[in-house]
Amino acid sequence: MTADTEPKLNWWNRLANPGQFVAWTTPLLWPLTILTAVLFVLGLWFAFFNSPADYQMGDTVRIMYVHVPNAWLSQFVYATMSVSALGTLVWRHPMADVSMKAAAPLGALFTALALFTGALWGRPTWGTFWEWDGRMTSTLVLLLIYLGLVALWRAFDDQLRAARIIAVFTLVGAINIPIIKFSVDWWSTLHQPASVFRPDGPRMPGSILVPLFVMFFAFTFLFLTLHLKAMHTEVKRRRVMTLKRRLAQGGSA
Amino acid sequence: MIDLGPHAVFIVWAYVGVALGIAGLIGWTLFDARRTASELSQLEARDPRRQRPADATP
Amino acid sequence: MSAFAAMLRRELRLSLRGGGDVLTLVLFFIIVGAIVPFAVGPDRTLLAAIAPGIVWIAAFLAMLLGLERLFRPDHEDGALVLLRQAELPLSAIVAAKLIVHWLVSAVPLLLATPVLAVLLAMDLDSFGRTMISLALGTPALAAFGAIGAAVTVSIRRGGLIAPILIAPLSIPVLIFGVGSITSPQSSAATLFLAALSLMALALAPFAAALAISSAED
């Protein structure tokens, strides 16, 4: 598919026009912001005032309400970037480039926060800030990949060309992340036979699940809001670059 | 405020750290948006052709 | 096939012409391995225990060092643009480059490993396993390196950013590489290492070719 086929005005192609995209999604920003704020207030109220302490971990279970959503986002953001990378490579969709670039720093921050809260949760429960446990280690590697992607975006001058190259690397990373996870799990079980941390999924009582779910959606909507806002900024930044180039050409001619 | 038990320090710091991180992210996103928007409006004012921004072609 | 063979010959001749490169690489590999005892002390049992890790780190760093010459000279003199016009698909060209890169940067390291094994007090048994694991694992390092080099080829100071991208991808290679020397389940690790190399070798030419053709547009 070449870039200069005659544009059919279905929603997909209209979404591909950056100006149209900004115009269409700007009305979504305020509702998203309000929804996120309400979810956070509700989630924090549940987390601190309306949920019991765990019978084993005591009050430290409250760290879970910020830890798990961040850990989920660290992977969800990468999935978003991978889908956007496919959009860039397969359909050459202009907004996919923008989405990919806007998501990378957000993912890096959420991953860093997941590690930070994990360390603060680990100290009282395991007795150490850092354990070379499979899950923590692969999250650390994920953070390194995010930071590499952010550095890669900053290294390119031509953002349009950068998008396709970075999309290739994002997808290579997406293929590699399960392999890294597997290898790190193999490695850590080899070095420490007894796992210190067993996730007790379905045995969690409802009183803990409710705040967890609310916070989960709060963080997810926070990401969606910030991602959309960052995409708008990126569209404007590209227009600034275009205008600067045009002014420079006009000045020299 | 409820009693957070013996590990209150860790819980409070986890929430404070996340709050700081998120606040920094929101602040930076808004700052970046404002800065880029103002730069764009300045440049559009200077643009001799004064095109509609939506059909700016490279 | 003959075009592929010609490509192999060209690459081999170009990379052997500057014979100093191979020597520098081998020296770097040995020096990294030889400098560790100065940092951790000359205790032979400790050295023997960490020797597999040292050898793998040295090999990893040495492979990173040689990446610059994989695509950059061809990018700078425009040969890469010409090669894209060739009848041979770009992925085959990248595969030829990858094979030659492995031949001129990993095989010398394998040949230099006995020196490190002696310096680091390895016994004969783990020396043999080190050779096997390096032989099986370096193709994966070369393949991930090729992807990193292709992604950064159009960045002027790409040499600085490529290692940052490659290192996280190479973690499984290091884990299974060292695991196949030291761990009790070394045969499983060896098989994983071989699988990783095969997969990386199958994937890398296409990914690197895609990145290069996007960069040269």
Backbone angles phi, psi at B47, to 5 degrees: -65, 120
Q: Are C183 and A190 in contact (CB under 8 A)?
A: yes
pLDDT value of residue A253: 47
Q: Which residues lie across from A54 on neighbouring strands?
A: A58
Domain contains A251: no
* Subunit contact B33:A239, Cβ cutoff 8 A: no
Q: Can you tell me the mean pLDDT for B5-32?
A: 89
Contacts of B30 (CB under 8 A, 6+ apart): A229
Q: Are C70 and C145 in contact (CB under 8 A)?
A: yes
Of A59, A67, A242, nearest to B56 by CB-CB distance is: A242
Q: Are C134 and C111 in contact (CB under 8 A)?
A: no
Output C97 or B9, whichever has higher pLDDT: C97
Which residues of chain C, if any, have pLDDT below 50?
Answer: none
* Subunit contact A168:C154, Cβ cutoff 8 A: no
Which one, of C178, C203, C200, C199, lies nearest residue C190 by Cα? C178
Of C147, C154, C179, nearest to A172 by CB-CB distance is: C147
* Subunit contact B17:A120, Cβ cutoff 8 A: yes
Q: Are A173 and C169 in contact (CB under 8 A)?
A: yes
Using CB atoms, list chains with 3+ pairs below 8 Å to chain A: B, C
* Subunit contact B47:A247, Cβ cutoff 8 A: yes
Residue A215 domain boundaries: 29-193+208-246
Residue C102 domain boundaries: 2-215
Which one, of A154, A165, A13, lies nearest residue A95 by Cα? A13
Nearest-neighbour CA in chain A from B1: distance (Å): 8
Domain contains A234: yes
Backbone angles phi, psi at A92, to 5 degrees: 50, 40
Nearest-neighbour CA in chain B from A168: distance (Å): 24
Nearest-neighbour CA in chain C from A69: distance (Å): 24
Domain tally for chain C? Answer: 1
pLDDT value of residue A57: 63
Instruction: Sort out which chain C residues have CB atoms less than 8 A from A89's CB and list them.
Output: 210
Please state, in angstroms and rounded to a whole number, the distance separating the CA atoms of residues A145 and A164: 17
Of A145, A168, A182, nearest to C151 by CB-CB distance is: A168
pLDDT value of residue C174: 93
* Subunit contact A240:B33, Cβ cutoff 8 A: no
Nearest-neighbour CA in chain B from A58: distance (Å): 7
Instruction: Sort out which chain A residues have CB atoms less than 8 A from B8's CB and list them.
Output: 59
pLDDT value of residue C136: 93
Per-residue pLDDT of chain A (253 residues; tens, 9 = 90+): 444 455 555 666 667 788 888 888 888 899 999 999 999 999 888 888 777 766 666 777 788 889 999 999 999 999 999 999 999 999 888 889 999 999 999 999 999 999 999 888 888 877 778 878 778 888 999 999 999 999 999 988 888 888 999 999 999 999 998 898 888 888 877 665 444 445 544 456 667 788 888 999 999 999 999 999 999 999 999 888 888 888 888 765 4
Please state, in angstroms and rounded to a whole number, the distance separating the CA atoms of residues A241 and A252: 17
Please state, in angstroms and rounded to a whole number, the distance separating the CA atoms of residues B21 and A226: 13
Q: Is C77 exposed, middle or buried (0-12, 13-18, 19+ CB in 10 A)?
A: exposed
Instruction: Sort out which chain A residues have CB atoms less than 8 A from B36's CB and list them.
Output: 233, 236-237, 240
Question: Which residue, among B1, B9, B12, B15, would best test binding to A if mutated, counting the most A CBs under 10 Å from its CB?
Answer: B15
Question: Which residue, among A82, A111, A145, A168, would best test binding to C if mutated, counting the most C CBs under 10 Å from its CB?
Answer: A168
**In the A/C pair of chains, how many CB contacts fall below 8 A?**
86
Q: What residue in C sits closest to A140 (Cα-Cα)?
A: C168
Domain tally for chain A? Answer: 1
Question: Is the complex ipTM higher than 0.85?
Answer: yes
Q: What residue in B sits closest to A248 (Cα-Cα)?
A: B47
